[in-house]
Amino acid sequence: MDNSRLLRTSGTLAAAAALLLSALAAGGPGPAAAAPRDRDEPGGAVHATASDTVGTTETHDTAATTDAGLPSLAEPLRPYYRQKLRWHSCGGGKSAGFECADLKVPLDYSVPRGGDITLAVSRKKATGPGKRLGSLLLNPGGPGGSAIGYLQGHAAAKYPSAVRARYDLVAVDPRGVGRSTPVTCLSDSEMDGYAQSDPTPTNAAETRRFVANLKKFANGCASRSSRILRHVSTVEAARDMDVLRALLGDGKLHYVGASYGTFLGATYAELFPSRVGRLVLDGALDPSLGPERVNREQAAGFQTAFTAFARDCARHSDCPLGTSGVTDAGNRLRSFLAGVDAHPLPTGQPRRLTEGLATTGVIAAMYDEGAWPALRKALALAANGNGSVLLALSDAYYERNASGSYSNLMAANAAVNCLDAPSAFHGPDDVRQALPAFRKASPVLGEALAWASLSCAYWPTHATGHPHRITARGAAPILVVGTTRDPATPYPWARALASQLSSGRLLTYDGDGHTAYTRGSSCVDSAINSYLLTGTPPRSGLRCS
């Protein structure tokens, strides 16, 4: 199991939960529900510093911008900013009605003539009526989530019609992700072993196996993706977005970033404040926090979400965690996970439900309160010896489909995070020393999340980023959105980012789940829509429910 550092929108997980509930209503748990391979995880620092990888090939914020949105460039970057995107139909099925193109960007911006890589781009043209406002670039988080999958599978249908009418919705899979020169690490069968491993080693033998699992993953990335592995930082992805902005003909970048996508958007604003248009950062990260603190505070965020789930569960007579309160519910869940560790459950397929898979299934359901009924059913079935629905929730989280194939979500997630920030811990002794603080933050999930924080300790490349405040001085107003009981990006992070940004404006959603836009609050949606359509952010301190 590796639940560390995956920060992405909740919509796709909620959709998987809905499929599970439909299958249960039809009389059985159904097959493992998972997202498609081409669409868009908890605790870890995702910090890169602009000055670490920018190089000296372009004068960024002080560069003059032409009417076509092309900055003054040093010679090596001109071919990238002046290439032509050749749009074509993306094909049939759920890709019908979308246009696709390939974008060339430098592998290494500090040596632009050293070779390039290809990024996949897709768009849905503005539907009208009304004057087109430009392109609205979308990123669903991760890192490692497919923006193209998010556009085609969610945003193009779920975004408000007024926004879709005025903007071309555009997505680019960031470097290393999905269709864009992806990072690969393990085979599908190896990923099965990785996902089901023990997340809470308690003795020397289990610890050795845990570390060996992390090393196998890291070594697989090094052997399969050596060329790109050092060039998938958030800073580089932000620079790629500026190339795309120019090629789309936009003088300013209009952007909606969710979860990790808020860090990507803030990094863009740090690099190019004069090119910031209308930026929505939903489910924000605090870029100033060190990696151990990020992981520990995220553990607390998941405890907050579990508390809300347990209270909701207790309202139902069939609650498998009982009705005696949150503490008792947590004790029951820990006891269940310990039992699964000792005796994995059958699932109706060759894979059995291990503690690692069960823990991931629980975490997956914390992202969206719409998944709570599925988790309640999953735990009830598991209490009777059937681990199939918890396994399905875990598969959806890892983006494993029914045929056993994984997207490259986990590979890209680790590659970006381990480049963006140093490892939270350097070895098992560090984790053991931190366990009391993590257990205090989350009596239910803290131990597993502490061990997951070791995921970058054996990474083959050195981090190029470090925690720092992002001010983006000179940028147009930037809207930061925080949800009070968000498990993956705790609400204080949104407050912190909004205060750091020189033009930040905070919008608060008093609610559950991860991120807020297009998740049912008319107050949130109205405020964001107005900002996107008029450029005017909501009043300071606006709070929605």
pLDDT, position 75 = 76
| pLDDT beyond 60 at 489 | yes
Confidence of residue 93 (pLDDT cuts 50, 70, 90): confident
Q: At residue 436, does pLDDT exceed 90?
A: yes
Phi, psi of 543 (to 5 degrees): -125, 125
Token pair belonging to 207: 């610890």
Residue 370 lies inside a defined structural domain of this protein: yes
pLDDT of residue 163: 97
Does residue 234 sit in the same domain as residue 340? no
For 286-319, write each residue's pLDDT tens digit: 999 999 999 999 999 999 999 999 999 999 999 9
Q: Strand pairing of 253-258 and 99-106? A: unpaired
* Residues 501 and 532 both lie in one domain: yes
Phi-psi region of 503 (alpha: psi -120 to 50; beta: other; left: phi over 0): alpha
Q: Which residues contact 94 (CB under 8 A, 6 or more apart)?
A: 36, 152, 153
DSSP 269-290: HHH-GGGEEEEEEES---TTS-
Asked whether residue 217 is domain-assigned, the answer is: no
Same domain, 193 and 255: no
Share of residues in the chain with pLDDT > 90 (%): 84
Residue 253 has pLDDT above 60, yes or no: yes
Smallest CA-to-CA distance from 193 within 454, 2, 461, 372 is with: 2
204 with 156, same domain? no
Summarised one tens digit per residue, pLDDT across range 30-44 is: 433 333 223 234 434
In the residue annotation, 468 being an active-site residue is answered as: no
Measured distance CA(464)–CA(67) in Å, rounded: 34
- Report how many domains make up the chain: 2
In a domain, 413, yes or no: no
Cβ atoms of residues 36 and 401 within 8 Å: yes
Amino acid 42: pLDDT: 41
Has residue 330 been placed in a domain?
yes
Residues 6 or more apart whose CB falls under 8 angstroms from that of 16 comprise: 33, 34, 35, 364, 371, 392, 393, 396
Q: Region 370-391: what's the mean pLDDT?
A: 97
Is the domain of 195 the same as that of 233?
A: no
Is omega for the bond preceding 143 within 30 degrees of 0, making it cis?
yes
Check whether residue 307 and residue 358 sit in a common domain: yes
Q: Which of 38, 233, 514, 525 is catalytic?
A: 514
Same domain (yes/no): 360, 380: yes
Position 31 scores a pLDDT of 37
| One domain, residues 310 and 272 | no
Can 462 be counted among the known catalytic residues?
Answer: no
In a domain, 458, yes or no: no
Helix (H, G, I), strand (E, B) or coil at 487: coil
- Do 308 and 171 lie in a common domain? no
94 pLDDT tier (thresholds 50, 70, 90): confident
Is the pLDDT reported for residue 46 higher than 80?
no
The answer, yes or no, to whether residue 379 has pLDDT greater than 90, is yes
Give the DSSP H/E element, type plus range, for residue 150.
Answer: helix 147-150
Please indicate whether residue 486 is annotated as part of the active site. Answer: yes
Does residue 221 lie within any of the structural domains?
A: no
Higher pLDDT, 525 or 27: 525
Sign of the four-CA dihedral 321, 326, 332, 336: positive
- Residue span of the structural domain in which 479 resides: 50-183+228-289+472-544
Q: Which of 192, 250, 486, 525 is catalytic?
A: 486
Choose, from 197, 259, 274, 442, the residue flagged as catalytic: 259
Q: What is the tens place of the pLDDT at every residue in 531-544?
A: 999 999 999 889 99
Residue 384 CB contacts under 8 Å (≥ 6 apart), including other chains: none
Q: How confident is the model at residue 7 (pLDDT cuts 50, 70, 90)?
A: low
User: Is the backbone of residue 97 left (phi > 0), alpha (psi -120 to 50) or beta?
Assistant: left
Residue 142 lies in a domain: yes
Average pLDDT over residues 170-185: 97
For residue 72, is pLDDT > 80? no
Q: What is the CATH number of the domain that holds 112?
A: 3.40.50.1820
CA distance 160 to 528: 10
| 273, 305: one domain | no
